[in-house]
Amino acid sequence: MAAVKPLVVFVLGGPGAGKGTQCAKIVEEYGFVHLSAGDLLRAERASGSPDGDLIQSCMKEGKIVPVEITVNLIRKAIEASGKGKFLVDGYPRNEDNYTGWEKYMGDRCNVGLVLFFDCPEEVCLERAMKRGQTSGRVDDNIESFRKRYHTYINETMPIVKIYQDKGKLRTISGLPPPDEVFAEVKKIFDKL
């Protein structure tokens, strides 16, 4: 019998839309492994790897890290975990990410759905600036946020549309308080 492919749920939304907050709740309630593309990249950058400077430069400029680097980090994290259910937060962020995932991981994983947190720019900015007071993240400042949000609108929203057309997109408003948002998330995960 062939091994069961890991279940992957992509989690998308603008910077500050509540992806990380909701992923933590999903992990606690449903036992998924949370893989943040950004956290994996930040850890790789901090490890002193040869890709570290490129990752740092991309993040500071609000640009997307080359797909081979990101997909490889996600693949290694999935394989190392030994688990079967994953939230991949902040990925795929552009067409290159999407095609790279299909090329390198499409036959290794089952993408069950894409959870999309819809939240206005002003709210996302306010949240990211508040987070920046304590996160120490190089990208939690107004200049990087504006670049990241611009990238999100121009490059991630077309990916959201692809998954919508495939019938895999589940959209939730990121505006309400976290517990109200999670009540909507639960309705989706209870059916998964």
What is the DSSP pairing of strand 169-173 with strand 33-36?
unpaired
Helices 142-151 and 121-135, axial angle in degrees (round to 10): 130
Closest-CA residue to 33 (of 6, 68, 14): 6
pLDDT at 1: 47
Phi/psi for 19 (5° steps) reads -60, -50
Query: How many angstroms separate the CA atoms of 138 and 184, rounded?
Result: 31
Closest-CA residue to 154 (of 33, 46, 30, 64): 64
Query: How many angstroms separate the CA atoms of 170 and 137, rounded?
Result: 29
102, 163 Cβ separation under 8 angstroms: no
DSSP-based three-state secondary structure for 62: coil
pTM: 0.88
- Structural domains in the chain, sorted by start: 7-189 (3.40.50.300)
DSSP-based three-state secondary structure for 116: strand
Question: pLDDT digits over 163-179, tens only?
Answer: 999 999 999 999 999 99
Report the length, in residues, of the chain. Answer: 192
Q: In one letter, which amino acid is 111?
A: V
Q: What is the pLDDT along the chain (192 residues), one digit of tens a residue?
A: 456 899 999 999 998 899 999 999 999 999 999 999 988 999 999 999 999 999 999 888 878 899 999 999 999 999 999 999 999 998 999 999 999 999 999 999 999 999 999 999 999 989 888 887 877 766 667 888 888 898 899 999 999 999 999 999 999 999 999 999 999 999 999 998
179, 22 Cβ separation under 8 angstroms: no
The four Cα atoms 25, 158, 162, 118 give a dihedral, to 10 degrees, of 30
